[in-house]
Structure 1
Amino acid sequence: MTSEIPTPLIEFLYRDDLDILVGRWGYQPDPRELPAVYQQMTDQALAKNARFWLQDIRRRTVNDPSTTEWLLTKFFPDMAQRLGGRLYIAYLVGPALHESIVKQPGYVPAEAYDGKPFATSFFGDEGAAIRWLQIQQTDKVH
């Protein structure tokens, strides 16, 4: 297995106009590829001090439970600390993946993240996801 990330199948782009780090996932990655992908995302986020992320995972069909556990318990809290404020992640998902995610045991809705160093929410519409992130940006005391 190679640690190189297929490009342009996964792309991270910082949108200065929106103050949002956008990740576009063009395929379903093998979980073994994710450390390199998340390192690339970390590098981009730290370079821009980006705490507002839009992750377009509409082309993904499966949510790996061990990756989800790692994101929620280690990666997101660590990134919030490294970025010096609350981290917000809006996931843009397709209908089948969205249903799979919300039906998983332990699924936590966005409002349950109060008091945590990060918050996530899931959307089927990119405009709605960006609006949610912009609402979070209006409260600069994160």
Structure 2
Amino acid sequence: MSSELPAPLLDFSHRADLDIMVGRWGYQPDPRELPAVYQHMTDVAFEKQSRFWLQDIRRRTLNDPATTQWLLSKYFPETAQRLGGRLFVAYLVGPALHESIINQPDYISAQAYDDKPYAISFFGDEGAAIRWLQIQQTDKVRY
């Protein structure tokens, strides 16, 4: 019998030095777990008034289409409205998941979010993801 505890689904914290919410996903979740986890993220982001999120999903192995649809049509727009400005989410992904996401027929590039209350971009490098969020912060006067 192992005494190791399972990894948490999400380690979510605010990096005050960067004004970025960082979420590190521990494993591929069952889609039924996600609404409560996303509600927690919204609550923390609202408390910190942070609209800039880094989501490290490198330990996740697939992208659930129903969850993606919910995020894009309901969760992200409602969260941006609740936070009082445009929401920016940088996803840090592994190579296999990145390929799977960008090769989906309904994939939307970062530039296509210009007319939305949120923007999403995918990265294979954490430094590049943070730089993208910082650029959005310097431009946030526009939002």
Question: 1:45 matched to which residue of 2?
Answer: 45
The number of equivalent residue pairs is 137
- Write out per-residue CA displacement over residues 53-77 of structure 1, whole angstroms, 9 at most, x where no aligned residue: 0000000001000000000000000
SS, match of residue 80 in structure 1: helix
Question: How far did 1:115 drift?
Answer: 1.7
- Cross-structure match for 2:3: none
Q: Please give the residue correspondences for 1:26-105 in structure 2 after superposition, counting only pairs within 5 Å.
A: 26-105=26-105
What is the CA-CA distance between 1:9 and the residue it aligns to?
3.5
Aligned twin of 2:136: 136
User: Which aligned segments of 4 or more residues in structure 1 are displaced greater than 2 angstroms?
Assistant: 6-9
Instruction: Name the stretch that deviates more: 8-17 or 127-136.
Output: 8-17
2-side partners of 1:7 and 1:43: how far apart?
Answer: 22
Q: Equivalent pairs: percent with the same residue?
A: 75
Aligned-pair Cα RMSD in Å: 1.1
Q: Would you say 1:21 and 2:21 are equivalent positions?
A: yes
Which blocks of at least 5 consecutive residues in structure 2 are unaligned? 1-5
Structure 2: distance between partners of 1:34 and 1:112: 25
CA distance in 2, matches of 1:36, 1:76: 15
1:50 is paired with a residue of what secondary structure?
A: coil
Q: For residue 60 of structure 2, what is the amino acid of its counterpart?
A: R
2: CA distance, partners of 1:26 / 1:18: 22
Larger radius of gyration: 2
CA distance in 1, matches of 2:105, 2:43: 31
| TM-score normalised by length of structure 2 | 0.93
**Distance of 1:127 and 1:88 partners within structure 2:** 16
Instruction: Return the alpha-carbon distance in structure 2 between the equivalents of residues 35 and 9 of structure 1.
Output: 13
Q: List runs of 5+ in structure 1 lacking aligned partners.
A: 1-5
